[in-house]
Amino acid sequence: MAHIVMKDDQMRGYLTGDPIKALCGKVWVPTRDYEGLPICQKCADERDRIVAGMKRLN
Ligand SMILES: [Zn+2]
């Protein structure tokens, strides 16, 4: 299962290998090769919510 993380956190996770917090709240170690894995539905929902919130600000 692939989780979605904020970009800055994702870079940090890559560099340090430390677990970081995904959008759904799960603490997760990101990997470079999660293509093909199903995206966590809670993360996808949360991302949509954030994107919708950003659109409202414009
Ligand atoms: Zn998730």
pLDDT digits (tens, 9 = 90+) for 6-57: 877 777 777 888 888 999 999 988 776 667 889 999 999 999 999 999 888 7
Cα distances (angstroms) measured from residue 37 to each of 4, 24, 31, 40, 45 = 12, 16, 11, 9, 17
pTM: 0.73
Look up residue 15 and give its two tokens.
């560099």
Distance 58 CA to ligand 1 centre (A): 27
The Cα angle at residue 23 between residues 35 and 40, in degrees rounded to 5: 40
Distance 22 CA to ligand 1 centre (A): 6
